[in-house]
């Protein structure tokens, strides 16, 4: 089983690399390929069982787009072929059409997702998210912390329909994208650690149906407590 | 000096606000400054200032460096204006100058030492151009406020006035590159036995060359990105060091510092490497200001880390160690964890570092736990880890992922009850890690631990 982590020296903000550490605990025999920004991604010439990229700084995001642009068609092919992928935080924007920068300039993303993002570096948006992931009918809990909001047509292919917290922007409850087996989401942090049902789905989709969830009891206990908090209307969504 | 017509009404109204607040025994360390700002947006620019202004910023250590400067300068014959009792954001800094000013808006102090929150620099430095800016270090901090270190660097690069001379940490490849056209003096600690060749921390925000993206080669890593590095492809490298600790005599508690004037010796305050960086930052500043080695050293003999940040209480053959760890700051917590594992003896660790205010109003974003090196607590010398609060289940998961055996983890809801869970039969030292907003729990926990140990000692003596 091969898991490629794209550009981990840069795309590692907000504790997101914990998702890979958790998968490593679930799949101790899996091979993790860590591709630096200066190298050709492994997925270009090989099949992978999971492709992952975490959040990065706004400056690095532009370099990542340039680095991946020659391989956009290959990414599309893998998505259409059902390769599991996870893009978290502003890694999702890399796959989109455009990013409008703070100064007003617009840069182009890979054009894989119908997403247009806009930076606002003077206002950071922090929020809890509670939403439903349709394939397993599970409530997903997570956090957003970002400078951007986005518009995009994701009503038919959203990762989550939120019950608390916003979607791509304040006007929608549709959060992120779910296409083939690719998840792209603004959620940051240890989303696989926080959401045992999502991790179970991912492992099953990767073909690791026999792999147990690491620390399953503890993870389920923490999830149940968080879900109860997130469902409590007294708990503020924006933090 | 040409001032806004709003200045004097703002000054007098804000001073009246201070008087009223004090009459009602309220802290007047923040609000009066905000009143002044509301009435006169250029208030900080209009108010009188000392001849020399030293600003101190950075992710970790700025309060300690300011305290050292504030305590040593009087021994050098200078009584600095400072914001020690107030906050380091706009309101607190404005209030500091407001309180120091006469009714005519003049300030009598010749020098100011002002701690400045990194994000407040844009406003503060627009109106208060420091002659010197000490940058202790730049790291990831609270995700929700500070996003990432590049965001903070960009703010500081926009804010730092051209004439400001920087005092920067040469071992910090982020902070030392700020405002590249400004004059600067660097400080650092030479390679020591025990420094790593390969990073042991999860987080390093300086992995690749900022010019050619090639992965940097570290000559040594002290923690996170603190160390010395060079790019194998281009000429990017750590800067040269002007004030460098070249030897540490831990028994004699002496630091030998190579300076442009030769080798000098200073008292070592604290036994943590971050304490040495903070001491060196203060010494560098004082030497750059022209104060002599002997006066600084004599004053250092009197200094200690304030008890609100570090305190060890020995009772019989056991100890309680209080350690400020700053929740949501993964680097500060990792430093504390590393200190614990390096301390001799068997240990219990009480974690009181969940966010107090988030616990009241929302659900804390626990992502920062995964950037903090809880792996350091997976050490045979750490017998117990006791966690309290609403996030205890999350800390448990994090510790399990760090490899800590579940049998060593104790979770509970009530903070002070953690003291009862410490098994002093198994441990020599109980560390209490707390946040700046959980000191009340920490104090009560310490008291309960002290009572337990004193009770044990009484039983033994009877």
**pLDDT-based confidence at residue B86 (cuts at 50, 70, 90):** confident
B173/B168 Cα distance (integer angstroms): 10
The CATH number of residue B374's host domain is: 3.90.190.20
Give me the phi and psi of B375, to 5 degrees please: -60, -30
Q: Do B343 and B277 share a structural domain?
A: no
Q: Does B145 touch chain A (CB under 8 A)?
A: yes
| CB-based burial, B250-268: b 16+ in 10 Å, e otherwise | eeeeebebbbeeeebebbb
* Domain match, B290 and B356 both: no
Closest in A145, A194, A218 to B144, CB measured: A145
Q: Does the CB of B122 have a partner CB in chain A at under 8 Å? A: no
Q: Per the domain annotation, does B227 fall within a domain?
A: no
- Mean pLDDT, rounded, for A222-227: 97
Tell me which chain A residue has its CA closest to the CA of residue B404. Answer: A215
| A214 band by pLDDT with thresholds 50, 70 and 90 | very high
Average pLDDT of span B189-213: 92
Secondary structure of residue B66 in the 3-state scheme: helix
For residue B423, is it left (φ>0), alpha (ψ between -120 and 50) or beta?
beta
Q: Judge whether residue B83 has pLDDT over 70.
A: yes
Element of type H or E holding B459: helix B439-461
Share of chain B above pLDDT 90, in %: 87
Taking an 8 Å cut-off on Cβ atoms, the answer to whether B362 and A237 are in contact is yes
For A10, which of B144, B208, B330 is closest by C-beta distance?
B208
Task: Retrieve residue A209's tokens.
Answer: 């149906």
Residue B197 has a pLDDT of 87
Q: Which residues of A touch B364 (CB under 8 A)?
A: 239
CB neighbour burial string for B426-447, b if at least 16 within 10 angstroms, e if fewer = ebbbbbbbbbebbeebbeebbe
- Find the mean pLDDT for residues B199-214: 92
> CB distance from A71 to chain B under 8 Å?
no
Q: Are B329 and B365 in contact (CB under 8 A)?
A: no
Residue B362 lies in a domain: yes
State pLDDT tens for residues B284-293.
Answer: 999 999 999 9
How many C-beta atoms surround the C-beta of residue B418 within 10 A? 28
CA–CA gap between residue A185 and residue A167 (Å, rounded): 10
Q: Would you call A24 an interface residue with chain B, using a CB distance cutoff of 8 Å?
A: no
Span B214-269, pLDDT tens digits: 999 999 999 999 999 999 999 999 999 999 999 999 999 999 999 999 999 999 99
Angstroms from A73 CA to nearest CA on chain B: 25
User: Cα dihedral sign for B145, B150, B151, B152?
Assistant: positive
pLDDT value, residue B459: 57
- Which band of pLDDT confidence, cut at 50, 70 and 90, is reported for residue B458? low
Residues B73, B79 contacting (CB under 8 angstroms): yes
Q: Does the residue B115 lie in any domain?
A: yes
Q: How crowded is the C-beta side of A80, counted as CA atoms within 13 Å? A: 7
Computed over every residue of chain B, the mean pLDDT equals 94
Are B144 and B15 in a shared domain? yes
Confidence of residue B457 (pLDDT cuts 50, 70, 90): low
The ipTM assigned to this model is 0.96
Q: Which domain holds residue B327?
A: 310-461
Q: Does B158 touch chain A (CB under 8 A)?
A: no
Same domain assignment for residues B389 and B279: no
> Does residue B145 belong to any structural domain of this protein?
yes
Q: Among candidates B262, B261, B305, which has minimal Cα distance to B282?
A: B305
pLDDT of residue B460: 53
Please tell me the number of Cα atoms within 13 Å of B45 on its side-chain side: 13
What does the pLDDT look like over B14-46, one tens digit per residue? 999 999 999 998 888 889 999 999 999 999 999
SS3 content of chain B, % helix, strand, coil (to 5): 40, 20, 40
Q: Which residues contact B85 (CB under 8 A, 6 or more apart)?
A: B29
B250 part of a folded domain: no
Min distance A14 CA to chain B CA atoms (Å): 6
Give the sheet arrangement for strand A138-146, strand by strand: A138-146, A125-133, A160-164, A174-175
Token pair of A232, please? Answer: 């409590």
A228 or B30, which is more confident?
A228
The answer to whether residue B244 is domain-embedded is no
Element (H, E) at A237: none
Residues in B 224-283 with any Cβ partner in A closer than 8 A = none
Q: Is residue B263 part of a domain?
A: no
What mean pLDDT is predicted for residues B358-378? Answer: 95
d(CA B323, CA B442) in angstroms, rounded, equals 9
What is the signed CA dihedral for B113, B119, B124, B130, rounded to 10 degrees?
Answer: 50
pLDDT of residue B274 exceeding 80, the answer is: yes
pLDDT given at position B327: 86
Nearest beta carbon to residue A219 from set B367, B369, B397: B397
For residues B44 and B169, state if they share a domain: yes
Beta-carbon count within 10 A of A213 CB: 19
In a domain, B189, yes or no: no
Long-range contacts at B376-379 (CB < 8 A, ≥ 24 apart): B376/B334, B376/B337, B376/B338, B376/B340, B376/B341, B377/B337, B377/B340, B377/B341, B377/B349, B377/B402, B377/B404, B378/B402, B378/B403, B378/B404, B379/B341
Distance from C-alpha of B417 to C-alpha of B22, rounded to nearest angstrom? 36
Q: Say how many CA atoms lie within 13 Å of B395 toward its Cβ.
A: 26
At B462 the pLDDT is 52
Termini Cα distance of chain A = 38
Co-location of B141 and B277 in the same domain? yes
Span B408-426, mean pLDDT? 95
Q: Find where tokens 């289940």 sit.
A: B393
A191 vs A128: CA distance, rounded Å: 12
Residue that is last in its domain, among B300, B318, B337: B300
Number of domains in chain B: 2
Mean pLDDT estimate for chain A:
96
d(CA B28, CA B365): 32
> In this complex, which of A121, A126, A215 lies closest to B144 when CB atoms are compared?
A126
Q: How many CB pairs under 8 A join A and B?
A: 114
Query: The tokens of B96 are what?
Result: 């500091």
Q: Give the CATH number of domain A2-231.
A: 3.40.50.880
Domain boundaries, chain A: 2-231
Question: Whose structure tokens read 């590249």?
Answer: B180
Confidence of residue A159 (pLDDT cuts 50, 70, 90): very high
Buried b (16+ CB within 10 A) or exposed e, B175-205: bbbbbeebebbbbbbbeeeebeeebebbbbb
| Whether the predicted pLDDT of A50 surpasses 90 | yes
* Backbone phi and psi for residue B82, each to the nearest 5 degrees, phi listed first: -150, 165
What CATH number did the domain enclosing B25 receive?
A: 3.40.1190.10
B316: Cα separation from own chain's centroid: 31
Residues 6+ apart with CB under 8 A from A233: none
- Number of helices (H) and strands (E), helices first, in chain A? 7, 14
Q: Say yes or no for a CB contact (<8 Å) between A230 and B363.
A: yes
% of residues, chain A, pLDDT over 70: 100
CB nearest to A36's CB, from B202, B215, B406: B215
Looking at beta carbons, which residues of chain B come within 8 Å of A230? 363
Name residues whose C-beta falls within 8 Å of residue A73's C-beta, 6 or more positions apart in sequence.
none
């Amino acid at each position: 089983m091969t898991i490629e982590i794209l550009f981990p020296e840069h795309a590692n903000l907000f504790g997101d690399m914990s998702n890979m550490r958790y998968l490593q605990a679930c799949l101790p025999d899996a091979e993790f390929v860590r591709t630096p920004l200066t190298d050709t991604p492994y997925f270009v010439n090989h099949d992978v069982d999971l492709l992952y990229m975490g959040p990065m700084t706004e400056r690095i995001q532009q370099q990542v787009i340039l680095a991946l642009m020659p391989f956009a068609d290959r990414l599309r092919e893998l998505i259409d072929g059902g390769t599991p992928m996870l893009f978290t935080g502003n890694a999702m924007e890399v796959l989109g059409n455009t990013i409008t920068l703070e100064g007003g300039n617009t840069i182009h993303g890979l054009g894989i997702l119908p997403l247009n993002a806009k930076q606002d570096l003077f206002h950071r948006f922090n929020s809890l998210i509670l939403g439903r992931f349709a394939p397993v009918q599970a409530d997903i809990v997570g956090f957003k912390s970002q400078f951007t909001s986005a518009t995009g047509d994701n009503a038919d292919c959203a990762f989550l329909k939120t019950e608390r917290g916003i979607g791509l922007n304040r006007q929608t409850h549709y959060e992120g994208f779910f296409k083939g087996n690719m998840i792209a989401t603004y959620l940051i942090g240890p989303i696989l650690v926080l959401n045992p049902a999502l991790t179970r789905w991912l492992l099953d989709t990767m073909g690791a149906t026999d792999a147990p969830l690491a620390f399953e009891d503890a993870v389920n206990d923490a999830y149940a407590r968080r879900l109860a908090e997130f469902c409590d209307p007294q708990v503020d969504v924006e933090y | 000096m040409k001032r806004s017509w709003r200045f004097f009404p703002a000054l007098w109204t804000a001073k009246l606000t201070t008087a009223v607040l004090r009459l009602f025994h309220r802290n007047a360390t923040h609000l009066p400054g905000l009143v002044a700002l509301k009435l006169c947006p250029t208030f900080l620019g209009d108010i009188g200032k000392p001849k020399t202004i030293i600003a101190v910023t950075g992710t970790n250590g700025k309060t300690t460096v300011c305290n050292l400067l504030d305590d040593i300068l009087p021994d050098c014959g200078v009584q600095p204006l400072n914001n020690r009792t107030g906050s380091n954001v706009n309101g607190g800094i404005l209030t500091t100058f407001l309180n120091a000013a006469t009714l005519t808006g003049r300030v009598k102090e010749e020098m100011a030492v002002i701690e400045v929150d990194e994000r407040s620099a844009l406003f503060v430095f627009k109106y208060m151009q420091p002659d010197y800016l000490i940058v202790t270090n730049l790291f990831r901090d609270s995700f929700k406020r500070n996003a990432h270190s590049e965001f903070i660097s960009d703010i500081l690069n926009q804010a730092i006035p051209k004439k400001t001379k920087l005092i920067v940490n040469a071992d910090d490849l982020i902070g030392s590159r700020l405002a590249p056209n400004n004059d600067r003096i660097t400080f650092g600690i030479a390679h020591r036995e025990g420094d790593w060749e390969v990073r042991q921390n999860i987080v390093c925000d300086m992995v690749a060359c900022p010019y050619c993206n090639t992965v940097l080669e570290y000559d040594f890593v002290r923690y996170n990105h603190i160390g010395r590095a060079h790019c194998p492809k281009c000429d990017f490298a750590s800067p040269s060091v002007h004030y460098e600790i070249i030897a540490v005599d831990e028994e004699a508690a002496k630091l030998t510092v190579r300076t442009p004037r030769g080798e000098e010796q200073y008292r070592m305050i604290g036994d943590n490497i971050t304490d040495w960086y903070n001491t060196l930052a203060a010494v560098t500043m004082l030497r750059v200001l022209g104060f002599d080695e002997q006066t600084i050293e004599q004053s250092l003999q009197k200094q200690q880390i304030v008890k609100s940040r570090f305190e060890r209480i020995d009772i019989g053959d056991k100890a309680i160690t209080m350690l400020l760890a700053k929740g949501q700051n993964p680097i500060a917590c990792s430093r504390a964890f590393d200190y614990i594992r390096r301390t001799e003896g068997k240990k219990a660790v009480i974690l009181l570092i969940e966010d107090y205010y988030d616990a009241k109003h929302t659900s804390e974003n626990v992502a920062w736990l995964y950037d903090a090196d809880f792996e350091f607590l997976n050490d045979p010398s750490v017998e117990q880890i006791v966690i309290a609060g609403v996030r205890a289940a999350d800390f448990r998961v994090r510790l399990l992922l760090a490899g800590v055996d579940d049998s060593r983890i104790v979770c509970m809801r009530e903070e002070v009850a953690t003291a009862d869970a410490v098994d002093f039969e198994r441990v020599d030292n109980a560390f209490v890690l707390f946040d700046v907003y959980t000191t009340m729990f920490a104090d009560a926990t310490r008291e309960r631990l002290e009572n337990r140990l004193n009770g044990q000692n009484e039983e033994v003596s009877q």
